Each structure stands twice: as structure tokens, then as C-alpha cells.
Amino acid sequence: MLFACGDKRLKTKDRKTIYFFYFMINPNIFKSYDIRGVYPKELNEETAYAIGRAFARRAEASAVTVGMDMRLSGPQLKAELIRGITDEGVNVIDVGLVPIDAIYFAVSKLKHEAGIMITASHNPKDYNGFKMVKKNMEWVRGKELKDEVLNLPKEVPNTKGEVQSADIMFEYIDHLRSFVDTSKIKPFKVVVDAGNGMAGSIVPLLETYLPIKTIPLNFTLDGSFPAHPSNPLLPESQVQIKEAVIKNQADFGVIFDGDTDRLFFVDEKGNFIRADYALLILAKEFLNREPGAGIVHNVICSKIVSEKITEWGGRAIRSEVGFVNISKHMREEQGIMGGEVSAHYSFRDNGYADSGFIAWLIMMQLVSEYDQPLSEIIKPFMVYFKSDEMNFTVNNQTEILEKIKQTFTDGKQNFLDGVTVEYPDWWFNVRPSNTEPLLRVTVEANSEDLLKERIEEIVKIVKS
């Protein structure tokens, strides 16, 4: 455990507040992209207060915009986060219960100075956390804030910040709509599974501008996730929407995670569409809008992604895994959009940030224009055979990665994120987890038999 200033205080003659005891902070909550942990075991009110103070100091802003999703511990953490921010003399703009991209919208389009969202995205119900951005949509990674949280000065300013509430929903919905021509969307029948997350409050607002008929599943906001886990990739999360699409003869379905930054599409046959295939559908539209534009994809997307982007005249830009990395490469290499197999889709005109709703709206317009069902639209992309990402617990990541490098010297090697090795008829990636003693393995091949053979070969080395 690490230690930081606690929350009890005394008043001195000069009226400054002095902290005089210490509490423990779990170092594992500071992730590569955000802050996240189990409430209250790993992440509690005292920690939220310290994070508020540290972020206020890092943001160098006169005001921080704060929002939260529907997680049960949100109100408690929010109260202490705000107290920490205002104790540093920084004002707070409280936008209430919002999806994550509403915070991005506030900072990127409404020009709020900084933003912090209380959410644990798709994690189980006992988790919560913080996603943070500074002015001009500069990400503040969890691991970057750790030292500041642990080394806060004991004194705080005499002047406290103020809190004001703001409703940004009207402007936010208009922003989402700006990405499509809603008059081109056909009167689809769409199953939408909000998973008891924030999509349950936003989809009805969007639907008033759309010709579609939604079949709503789990629209009641409930951080206990009574219907199924918040992670759409889990098999138990997929049962309900697959059945509903078939039962209602829907044109397609969509399932969101808790804070709505991720979504997966389900075709008219009830089959989940791989996110790298969905990325390609979206990428083709953006290349039609801006020929030659850059499309960012991560290292574990199918190679059909880079092949098709190049074929369509675009620039295929490879990124490390993680939505913050996708955003970074978009900004640095003039990308117009980006995506990854976890179903984060980011857009330049959304402050280089991800948004499940923007992806959903664009997809509806595209399916309308294709005049084909989703199952037919993705058929040209189903060329290769690819594994899901496999996780292996190891205690010697560095040794195994070095062995991988030495074993496959005859292939084309890349070290952008772990080790990627490419051959004419197959490729693989082995990358270390940033937070756990895990190696993550992805393999793709030109045939199913070759895929099985190469998986066995790689796994044998990893387990050795």
C-alpha cells in the first residue's frame, strides 16, 4: 500500500487547513489510461478527495467539469471528488448524470477547461473510477497522477472553489446529430440493449430525431446491472439481445456498455459483428467524406483492416491497444477516425475522443445507403481466421517476449505494442498487460487449420 494525506483537519491561526493523519491508497488503481478499482476496498471517499485535489492542481484550470454515470457508489465518490477540487480553490461545473462522451463534448466543443468522469466503464458493479482530460482534450492518465496524489501538500488554499450545476444535454444531442443526415436513415426496427447503463437515458432523446423504432432492453438506469454484466463481450451479456433481434425480426441490434463509450452491433440473424469489421464500415464512409484520410487501428485488428483502408485510398495508421493511444495517433498523424477490437470508436471532430452514439448514428445512415443487411455488408471482410485475445498468467513476461523474438526471427517483427510478427499467411501479437502479470496473445491466419496450428505453437512458448 501507498500512503497519502488524509481527510481530517485542524484550523491554524492563519486559517489554512492542515492535514494531520494519513490513509492508505492502493497503487493498483492508477491504470495506464484512467483510475479504476473496487469500491470501497480499493477506491473510497478519501481517495476520491485526494484525486480531486491532485487533478485540480494538474489541470491548471479555473473550473473542472464533473459528471458521473449510474454506478451505485457514484454519488459518494462525486461528493468527495468535488470537495477535493474546490479545496484547491478551483470551481466545479457539475453536469450531473451523463455518458462519458458528454464530458469530452464539454471540454472539446464547449471549451470547458478540464473534465473528469466518475465511471468504471464496463467493469463489474463493485468497481468505480475516474477518466480525466485537460484543456484541448489532453488526456491525464491514471499512472501520471499517482505521484501527485501521494505527494499532496498538507496545506490547502484559503479560498475555496464554488460549485454550479449545468445542463448540457440539448447542446450535446445536437453535437451527436451533426455527424449524420438523419433524413437519410431508413425506418429501421432496432433492438437497443442499454444494459441498465447511460444509453437508457440518451437513446430516447436521440430517437425523437430519428425515423427508427427501437425495441428497448434494460433502459432503467441501475448500477447493480440486474439484467447482465456491463461488459458486452461476455457471453451472458449477449443472450438477451440475440434472442430479441430474432424474435422481433429486427434489422439489427446494438448493445452499449455502462458509460456508452463502447458498443457492439448485432446483425439481423442475431450474430455479433466483430468490432474491427464495424470499424471498416465506418472507415469507408469517412474516406468517402475525406479521400486519403488517416484511419487509426490497433495492433490486434485483423489485417483486412489495413488492406481495405489502403485499397480505398486511405492511410492505415497502426496504434498500441487502448483508446487513449488511438486518440494520440489520430492527433499526431492527422487521423480522421480510429477504432479497435474492444469497440471503442474515436472521431477527430469529437475532440479525438470515442463515442458509442456517434458510431451508432453513422452506422444507421450507412446501412440505409448500402440497402443491404449487415450480414451481407461485412461478408467481403471475412477473409481471414482470427482468434480472440487469449490471456496467460506469467511471472517472467520479459523472458518470454525475448524468447518469442528469438524464435520467430524469420518473420517481420514490430515492437509497437509487445511483439508482433508477420508472415505471408499468418501473424501474431504477444503483448504484456500494463497492470497484471499477464501476456495477451492474438493470432490470425489464412485458414482455420493454420490458425489452430499456430495458436498451439505460440501458446506452448508462452506457457514454457
Residues involved in catalysis = 121
Cell of 171: 447542446
Rounded to 5°, angle at Cα 380 from 379 and 382: 65
| 457 to 417, 451, 461: CA distances (angstroms) | 20, 10, 7
Are 120 and 149 within 8 A, CB to CB?
Answer: no
Q: Is 433 helix (H, G, I), strand (E, B) or coil?
A: coil
Q: Is 20 exposed, middle or buried, given 0-12, 13-18 or 19+ CB atoms closer than 10 A? A: exposed
Sign, CA torsion 173/176/178/181:
negative
Tell me whether the omega of the peptide bond preceding residue 380 falls within 30 degrees of 0, making it cis.
Answer: no
- Supply the Cα-derived Rg of the chain in whole angstroms: 23
Please tell me the distance from the alpha carbon of residue 296 to that of residue 270, in angstroms, as a whole number. Answer: 28
Using an 8 Å Cβ cutoff, are 350 and 358 in contact? yes
Q: Report d(CA 219, CA 232) in Å as an integer.
A: 15
Cα–Cα distance measured from residue 301 to residue 176, given in angstroms and rounded to the nearest whole number: 26
